[in-house]
Amino acid sequence: MEHAPAWLINSLIYLSAAVIVVPLGKALGLGSIIGYLAAGIAIGPWGLGLVTNVQDILHFAEFGVVLMLFLVGLELEPSRLWNLRRPIFGWGSAQVFGCAAVLFVVGVAAGAPWKVSLVAALGLALSSTAIALQVMGERNLLPTTSGQAGFSILLFQDVAAIPILALLPVLGAVSGSDDVSTTGAKLLEVVKIVGVIGGIILGGRLLLRPLLRWIANSKTPEIFTAASLLLVVAIAALMQLVGLSMALGAFLAGVLLAESEYRRELETDIEPFKGLLLGLFFIAVGMSIDFGVLLKSPALMAMLVVGFLAIKLTVIYLIARLMGVPFQERPVFTLLLAQGGEFAFVVFQAAAGAAVFSNETASLLIGAVALSMLLSPLLLVAVDKLLLPRYASAGGLQMEELSEQQTAPIIIAGFGRYGQIVGRMLSAEGIPITVLDHDAEMIEAIRTFGYKVFYGDAARLDMLRTAGAASAKILVLAVDDIQQSLKIVDIAREHFPGMQIVARARDVTHWNELRDRGVMFVERELFESSLRSGRSVLELLGHSPHEARQTSMRFRRHNMALFEEMYPHRKDRAKVIAVARQGRTQLEEQMAQEREEQARREPKGGW
């Protein structure tokens, strides 16, 4: 191996450590993140010493966070992001500035210089986007109240990292005021930042879709994968060029492509790279923990870690109460935001470079952040086993988890406005049902009406087994989140092939995805109610109830037939549009002909 290139040896070390340690961590119930962090500690400078260029690896592995934010952006349409503007800038600023203010006061009271206290407070107020979103994804928390609130705060933190970094040179300046040339340079930087963001938005609207369509028409899957990675790398490079967050730029690009017909293809292509690089990022964090600083000042390090975690836990828990985060979701929400974040590494290293504080202080703070990221998953395990069971039986809501084997022939996954109607109709017929939902706030509201709903995530195989999926005849899939819906279908198809699935589709794309998975009983959630509204309009225009009903039924039959005709061409946008236009023309001609025939059959007047 002495003649093997360094990249080959390092790849062997990283992959071996991950393959050995991560499954072990999962088997012990500690989760994959602790496994990656432990693997990094094992092969790093303070473990076996197999890898020493930690900072280079950390910079490269940060691209995993960039890819993760791009995929998160793909799930958020611009209209949905606009709806989140208040929690992003409202609660996000409350969390960052609230935690920073308390940390700053404590730091100054402890005798630290105000500059050191200010930068340390701002850096420690940030949370780990990578760990928080990874845990939320594993637990399917993103669609919940706490998940949306946590995501909003994390997004604001990514934005807040920019002015924090811009503040450091000002704090590091010893004396003097800005001259004209310095002011001009700063104005030029602002123009560059606005130009890059504007270019990304304009390019995303006008250029990206035609470019992706052109690449997709080449019928070369590997080139489309390369183009997907090129897109993210190019945007990250542009953001880095003007000193902005690479992750924020990738997120913005994802949002702009959220309504694109290539969204699913982009997700499929980038997901494997994201997983590998994110794992490498956690390994690099484990390697970056400077145990030398810890051993030199163990008491100071312990006070720092415990102190800033305690302060953030208290502030964030109070914010969670003010935000209306459900009682049962607060512990996990608070803990995920209390840990230090990856952007703190950048802030503290930049602060040392700007002479705000010494390299030793920077190492101490970076070590505290890294230790908090290591402790957070361990604390999460303790919360799951010790705290959550008490929360489930305390507060305003008794959370009845699904623990005993159920035998009802019907399972309903999701009991919101759609699932409730199905469940009420079946209950009225005396048909026993088992209802699963994982939104604590919704369950609290539903139980006030006397319905029995179990708290559980239907996307978990063990939960479906306990719900009686092995013997159930039908699974009614009424969850609101599209990705969760498809995940449940995949699990049910693989493990319970004898169970029929009746599913709700949010839109045409979701309908096609369900049909791709062999689900034949699919209803679009607004289709039937829209037809009834159309009937009411026709009646108000003078049509008889019978005529209005016949018209709506003809339209329904034609629409369903058109869907079946478009389905084989669902990946060819031009063909789908052509079929849709042809179908609309045929329907208009058919209904015009029927109106003419009806008019001829009607008497011309008189006896």
User: What does residue 475 show for φ and ψ, rounded to 5 degrees?
Assistant: -110, 115
| Secondary structure of residue 434 in the 3-state scheme | strand
Task: Collect all residues with Cβ–Cβ distance below 8 Å to 579 and sequence separation of at least 6.
Answer: 562, 565, 566, 569
The CA-atom distances, in angstroms, between 519 and each of 449, 465, 506 are 32, 20, 14
Q: Is the dihedral of CA 339, 342, 438, 445 positive or negative?
A: positive
Taking residue 333's Cβ as centre, other Cβ atoms within 10 Å add up to 26
**Cα distance between residue 557 and residue 587, in whole Å:** 11
pLDDT at 311: 92
Looking at the DSSP assignment, which residues form a beta bridge with residue 476?
A: 412, 502
Q: What is the pLDDT of residue 177?
A: 44
Q: What is the pLDDT of residue 261?
A: 66
pLDDT at 56: 63
Closest Cα to residue 334, out of 347, 344, 348, 321? 321
Q: What is the dihedral of CA 381, 385, 388, 389, to 10 degrees?
A: 170
Architecture of domain 410-525: 3-Layer(aba) Sandwich (3.40)
Pairwise CA distance, residues 336 & 314, whole Å: 13
pLDDT for 101 = 92
- 3-class secondary-structure state, position 505: strand
CA 551 to chain CA centroid, Å, is: 42
Mean pLDDT by 10 residues, the chain (607 residues): 62 78 72 76 78 66 70 68 76 89 90 86 86 75 75 81 71 49 58 72 72 76 76 77 70 72 70 72 74 80 88 90 77 85 77 77 83 80 71 51 75 85 82 82 67 77 84 89 86 89 85 85 80 83 84 81 75 72 73 68 52
Residue 412 sits at φ, ψ, to 5 deg, of: -110, 120
pLDDT at 514: 87
316 closest CA partner among 94, 575, 107, 479: 94
**Residue for token digits 């119930």?**
29
- The pLDDT of residue 178 is 47
> What is the domain partition of the chain in residue ranges?
26-174+185-392, 410-525
CATH architecture of the domain covering 26-174+185-392:
Up-down Bundle (1.20)
